[in-house]
Structure 1
């Protein structure tokens, strides 16, 4: 009985010491036979925990990225002179029949603040945001080929020049790649069209 008890105690101590050595040496730097140092492989449980802590960080980083696309825009300015009064020129821009005359196409206009308009067979649409008789017209304005929902802000200012009217156009928020097309469109379809249709571009002696 005495010998069996000693053997059981010795066996239990051997397992305990072996377990202690294994846990104590986890992650330690141990010398090799050649005198070089090598690190024991990381504990599998610890490695799994490290992976768990890094995965949410990566997920959060992806969520923080912006998903919107910003449109590069520009500003244009135009100036022209018409041989008519500010009152007459103002009415040309807000009267449906006159707009249809100088654009040579069907048009729809609601000449009030907040009123909608559609010109050139739907190629141009928008909304009047400010109407000051003889002085100024401001509008939200877009070509149908522009990104959906994007409008430029167009402001027309009428300046009395004693028998002539100087018109100044300022356009903001125009897509950068549409700058030249927009400038040429206003000059050709609006300014030149008005002059040719109503005779505001030539002096009558």
Structure 2
């Protein structure tokens, strides 16, 4: 069985800046403190955290939405890729990221749900504070 992670986070930056933190490999790497490679076009590939995470860009609406396959190196070969949808919207004081991460294997749901907060949202907040 699989589950879906759904999260909404408000951050002190406009939607376009938040989109760029994810899609610009240098900014993404600086924000999460790990080497990242990401293709900025549909069909481009994604790798992060030493190759622990990988995927492929399925759709982009610049400044507004990212859709990609997403897979952990630890998943079984028989596990299907998950689908990650990130949407970026204006919010008071900055922007909002809505995350839908579908088809996450049951056994990996708790660490992936926590991981988005630990490895992304907390680190993005720290990155945005540093950038001032």
TM-score, normalisation: structure 2: 0.92
Matches of 1:162 and 1:76, distance apart in 2: 24
Report the RMSD for the aligned CA atoms in angstroms: 1.6
Instruction: Please give the secondary structure, in 2, of the residue aligned with 1:118.
Output: strand
**Structure 1: unaligned runs, 5 residues or longer:** 1-71
SS at match of 2:109: helix
**Mapped pair 1:178 → 2:116:** no
Residue deviations 1:108-155, cap 9 Å, x none? 111111100100011110011111112111110011101126310010
CA offsets per residue over residues 30-64 of structure 1, 9 Å max, x none? xxxxxxxxxxxxxxxxxxxxxxxxxxxxxxxxxxx
- Which of the residues 168, 171, 188 maps onto 2:98? 168
User: Does the CA-based 8 Å contact 2:36-2:47 persist in structure 1?
Assistant: yes
Structure 2: how far apart are the matches of 1:161 and 1:193?
19
Aligned counterpart, 1:25:
none
1:112 matched to 2:57? no
Higher strand share: 2
TM-score of the superposition, structure 1-length normalised? 0.60
Q: What is the aligned partner in structure 1 of residue 128 from structure 2?
A: 198
**Would you identify which runs of 4 or more consecutive aligned residues in structure 1 move more than 2 Å?**
none
Output the CA distance in 2 between the equivalents of 1:140 and 1:88: 22
Structure of greater Rg: 1
Q: Which has the higher contact order (CA 8 A, sep 6+)?
A: 2
Query: Higher helix share goes to which structure?
Result: 1
Q: What is the total number of aligned residue pairs between the two structures? A: 130
Specify the alignment match of 1:103 in structure 2.
32
- Structure 2: gaps (5+ residues): none
Question: How does 1:110-189 map onto structure 2 within 5 Å?
Answer: 110-148=39-77, 150-189=80-119
Q: Give the 3-state SS of the residue equivalent to 2:50 in structure 1.
A: helix
